[in-house]
Structure 1
Amino acid sequence: MKDQLSFGLRPANAPSRLYVTGGGQLIDHEVAEKRHEMDHGWEWSGQNNDQNEKWTDEAIKLAAEDLRKDAAFRLFLGNNLYKKEVAIPFHRAFWGHRAKIKDLVLKSNDFKGATLDSRNMAPDIVWQEPNTKSVFLTEMQRERQLFYGDRVSLYEGKARCLFAIKGIDWDFQQVPIHVLGLADFDLNRKNRMDYIHEFISTNQKDPEELFCGKDWKMLIDLPKFRKAVPENYSERDKWLFILNNFHNLRETPTFLKGGYFEDVIEIAKQLNQTKMEEFMNMLDDFHWRDRVRKLERLTKERVEENAIAVGRTQGRAEGIIEGKAEGKAEGLIEGEVKGTINTIKSFLAANPNLLKKSVKDVAAMFQVDEQLVRPLMA
């Protein structure tokens, strides 16, 4: 159970906030619970190691790569430009056995909370079938998430409220909600060989009797799929192969040749080579500038402390700062300011949902000053 904030009257010397832990203990600080995979189930721990995490250059590089992949994923499956070639056949492959999909309309993924203290949610991609009104949510998670099943269920519940017919004449008939969770981590499900898990509310004594038949959820274990070698690739398998590999596809595998998958792969290659190239170059430039600034700072701090370190640091700093900072940095900072702005503009245009975030959040995402982002989001 997640720590819950308790409200009520308190003595003047009492902590301003009290929390109830998963074990029922009342404490004055929040504890982030983490669970560890065990053979017999889950074990809960009150330790929070996030604050001890060190952001090395390799970690930053991996985080930037994940960010690039997530952005490409949204452009790939959540773009009207590729609806006929990508979105419709993708959803038919995963949900065609449950819903008729003739067309799709892209919907906002900004799920606002009902009250000021409610948590907002933003699933990666939301489409709706205009004829049947069926809603399809797709969420990619690259890191292990606590209460992952709860998160997927919450997406379904929130979508059910948002897409319900408005007005007092509503007869309580709901639209079918289909949530697809693509997990890039071990889901720890019982069947060690099965990488697709499908759920719906049923009668426990008669599983074929559905409660309402409108609350479908599907979880995909991507690491487990990568280990599998299907004898015959189904439509789903082909899509999962593309999602696992489309960031580094060089040649089209034989089992994907022929039919619409060749067009899908061409779109994936185009996204990797063009739309995301500028974004990655921009991130590389930002990280390079940070390293130059760090070398400048270290050089100044160590001048009086260690002459040898100063010599080495100045030697490297002069090679980088004088050679690159004077040549490349001047060109970057002075000549590429407009290029950086244009890159951010293009990325915001391709991901309009970012415009709903705060200037501070977007500036942090691109690692630039808020003053640079503010006019672009006005």
Structure 2
Amino acid sequence: MTTTSERISEPLTRQMSKRVSQSVFDGSRLRVMLLVDVYDGAQQQFLEAYEKLCTQVASVPGHVSDQLCQSIENPSQWLITSEWESAPPFLDWVNSEDHVQMVRPLHSCVRDTRSLRFHVVRETGVATPAESATRRLQSAPRIGDGKIRHALTFTVKPGSEEKVAKILADYAPPKAKVDESTRLCRTSLFMHGNRVVRAIEVEGDLLAALRHVSRQPEVRAVEEAINPYLEQERDFDDPEATRVFFTRAAVPAVHHVTSGQECSEAERLALYYPAQAGRGMELARLLAQQDELAADDPNSPVCSSTVFHRDEIVVRLVDVRGGIEADPVLALGLPDSPQAAELATLVDGAAVGAEGSALKGEDLVRFLTLARMDLVTDRRSAPEA
């Protein structure tokens, strides 16, 4: 029987469209590197914590191997590399609550970490042709637009939605320039019921941009103002609690595609697709596949689409020519009844208030209305002079 992880590891197409600049769904091997800065004197404690962790990781579906390396120049610098059959099983694990709890013992001995994730494009030294055939590689380099996309999400206490929306809409944006190589390009903030989603576009170093934003007084003031309304409490004076909060809030981009059409006046929309338990990655894959196909359709109003996923949370950020009224069903990303029927098996309709008919293709326009998130603010950074 084919497992869920095997299904979502299959490539969208054997040769992914050149319009796709980012995707975790091509089935190629994944190499993950975690750069770790260990507190002075805590090296043995870190090694012992890692040895317990790696035993647990070895049993995670999709995990192939890992290595722990220590710098020959600075004993506080360590590198953990791991290989995975493909990106989806790794993302399912790294974004899970199990992972949050699993890595807690490392935090007391680690000053800083940085995670880098790469699809394998070429390799040498594979033992046999048979082994090589099972190690799928990314077929061709992707061409991006120089932007990194990321999202954060959290929920607020029911009844506080209007207050939170006003706080988030009224804040003064931080400076766009982070350093000589990094700048904030755009921040889009949406709400769906009591769920908040903040999507950002960055040129340069995403981690540097996130840290830059978190340190800005105007941003810190807004975050402190909404703290009383959060369903999950956080204390900015507790670094560990803050780290865990933002770890749980992260919603990585798993697919981005552009149509190549001129869309300077396109309207930005966000759609919320809560998945059935354990079906989030399948749902994200379905939306990504349809967006890839639609990108080659000159009649599609969608200029670009980014799919974000974590656990059962799937958010699709789209730029649409003529607004959502241009073609509501195409904007939804599921123009054909078979795809709409598949959506019905993956989406938790009750979470968006969808009736059965709206998930069976009989009333997709209504489902689109239910899935659409309310825009709080959408701000582009002015280009540097």
TM-score (norm: length of structure 2): 0.27
Higher relative helix content: 1
Higher relative strand content: 2
TM-score (norm: length of structure 1): 0.28
Higher relative contact order (CA 8 A, sep 6+): 2
| Bigger Rg over Cα | 1
